[in-house]
Amino acid sequence: MSGLCAAILLAREGADVTVHERQEAPAKKLLLTGNGRCNLSNVSVSCSDYVCGDPAKLRGILACLTQTRRDEFFAGIGLMLCELRGGLYPASRQASSARDCLLLAAQELGVKLRTDSYVKGLDEDKRLLLRDGSLTEAYDIVIIASGGKAGVYGEEGENGKKLLRSIGHEMKNEHPALTHILCAEDLSAVAGVRCDAAVSLHVSSGTYRESGELQITKNALSGIPVFQLSRYLDEESGVLSVDFLPRAECDRVWFRKRLEEQKGRDLEGLLCGVLQKKLANWLITSFGRKPSDKVSSMDPAEADAFFEMLRNKRFTACGLGKYREAQLMSGGVPLDEVSDGLESRFREDVYLCGELLDVNGACGGYNLHFALASAFRVRDEILRKKR
Ligand SMILES: Cc1cc2nc3c(=O)[nH]c(=O)nc-3n(C[C@H](O)[C@H](O)[C@H](O)COP(=O)(O)OP(=O)(O)OC[C@H]3O[C@@H](n4cnc5c(N)ncnc54)[C@H](O)[C@@H]3O)c2cc1C
């Protein structure tokens, strides 16, 4: 995404551009995005939608992609957009439309596309070192947009790391993100449950909270709120706490009233109408009670503790989904290794853009938005230096 966008933007300025793509076909990852619909951007984008160690630099990159520029870019490649719950998608709702329009525009502008062209290094004259050991012609400017290894590659997959290393850049703190979080507890009894919840992740860097539809599998918590939180789990383990009663009215006063009104019921009956039966019964059992126990058998202190557990059920986070299952590679080249204009601090006229940078967007079109925004940032800097 980022490389093709940069190629189009610079070819429009009259540059002679060649794209080297290691795979047999370009932009394969785009076809996987947004469940095959490709969530390209969002109606509202700000720094707070990203995890990034250098918010000031990020702000500068995002500022490059004004709404007008974004809309004109997509219109200019012939891609009509539509909005779905804030996300911007191809009007056809097919990711292949986005890929095809990018490729058609690149072709029309004379961009040369070399597929099966794995680049493993860059020499002093800005010649690319290819897989077979051959060198390309020397380029005036090189843009590295080799992305992350989520989705397409396996664990062993390599995403431009060698190329970046050849000029002194290191990918840092990489881990799969926008993926499920593995839990140490056996969750088979509640596997398949989907429910509204507020989920908090407690790690040494802080506590992060997200809400939305939680999905439970036999060994993991998943769903959009967990995906968002996975960007912060950069260590071996953490604690997840889930509020299964996230609605504002479900406070302690509400619960006490419910206990009073339903004192003749059993605990399964108490939670009936609020939580799915499978989930309710699992929560009751994990509290050490039976679903058939009477509400009246709980004294006020135990009832308070039960309510507290429903609002704050703890799980031990012990890992993340694999790269193949993830939507993002968190971490990457730190922003302090590039200038404000995304030029490498180690090599003049070499630029870095897209997911390989240490900028981790939330679900909702923010990563493809960043891929385009950083391509614009590179284009602007190249033109500024040329003037
Ligand atoms: C399943 C899935 C769903 C997603 N859904 C969304 C979504 O809906 N919205 C959103 O905003 N984001 C989504 N993302 C994230 C988004 O796809 C990426 O953040 C985005 O594609 C990054 O763009 P990029 O150009 O930096 O890298 P990429 O799109 O990964 O492109 C990098 C390209 O460089 C090539 N390459 C790598 N190394 C080399 C090398 N050494 N030599 C030559 N070529 C090389 C790769 O083959 C690849 O084609 C999703 C990701 C996945 C996996």
pLDDT in tens, 253-305: 999 999 999 999 999 999 999 999 999 999 999 999 999 999 999 999 999 99
How far apart CA 277 and CA 130 sit, in angstroms, is 58
pLDDT of residue 234: 76
Per-residue confidence at 156, pLDDT binned at 50, 70, 90?
Answer: low
Ligand 1 pocket test: which of 28, 164, 367, 377 has the largest number of ligand atoms within 8 Å of its C-beta? 367
Distance 329 CA to ligand 1 centre (A): 9
Is residue 21 within 6 Å of ligand 1 at its C-beta?
A: yes
| CA–CA distance, 222 with 327 (Å, rounded to integer) | 13
SS3 at position 263: coil
Top mutation candidate among 30, 33, 51, 169 for ligand 1, by most atoms within 8 Å of CB: 33
For ligand 1, whether the C-beta of 368 sits within 6 Å is yes
β partners of residue 241: 200, 314
Give the rounded distance of the alpha carbon of 310 from its chain centre.
29
- CB proximity list for 225: less than 8 A, separation 6 or greater: 197, 198, 199, 210, 211, 212, 213, 214
Task: Look at phi and psi of residue 206 and say left if phi exceeds 0, alpha if psi is from -120 to 50, else beta.
Answer: left
Ligand 1 atom 5, closest CA: 33
Tell whether ligand 1 has an atom less than 6 A from the beta carbon of residue 354: yes
Q: Looking at ligand 1, which atom is closest to the CA of residue 27? A: 49
For residue 218, how many other CB atoms are within 10 A of its CB?
12
Distance from the alpha carbon of residue 355 to the mean position of ligand 1, in angstroms: 7
The secondary element (H helix, E strand) that includes residue 112 is: strand 112-114
Query: What number is the average pLDDT over the span 40-69?
Result: 97
Distance CA 341, CA 60 (A): 9
Ligand 1 touching residue 179 (CB < 6 A): no
Classify residue 118 by its DSSP letter: -
| Ligand 1 within 6 A of CB of 122 | no
> How high does pLDDT run on average in the chain?
95
Joined together, the tokens standing for residue 202 give: 């407690």
Q: Average of pLDDT values for 367-378?
A: 98
CATH 3.50.50.60 occupies which residues in the chain? 2-176+326-386
Nearest-angstrom CA–CA distance, 294 and 35: 45
At a CB cut-off of 8 Å and minimum separation 6, what does 274 contact?
245, 250, 280
Class of domain 2-176+326-386: alpha beta
Give the pLDDT band of residue 237 (cuts 50, 70, 90).
Answer: confident
Q: Which H or E element spans position 320? A: strand 313-320
Is the shortest distance between the CB of 355 and ligand 1 below 6 Å?
A: yes
CA of 102 from ligand 1 middle (Å) equals 14
Query: For residue 363, which of 213, 178, 179 has the smallest C-alpha distance?
Result: 178
The minimum-distance atom of ligand 1 relative to the CA of 361 is 11
3-state secondary structure at position 187 = coil
Query: What is the Cα–Cα distance from 217 to 346, expressed in whole angstroms?
Result: 45
CATH 1.10.8 residue ranges for the chain: 181-320
Q: Is the CB of 151 under 6 A from ligand 1?
A: yes
Domain 181-320, CATH: 1.10.8
300-311 and 252-261 helices cross at what angle (nearest 10)? Answer: 130
pLDDT at 166 over 80: yes
Query: What is the reported pLDDT for 149?
Result: 87
Query: What whole-number distance in Å separates Cα of residue 356 and Cα of residue 165?
Result: 12
pLDDT tens by residue, 299-345: 999 999 999 999 999 999 999 999 989 999 999 999 999 999 999 99
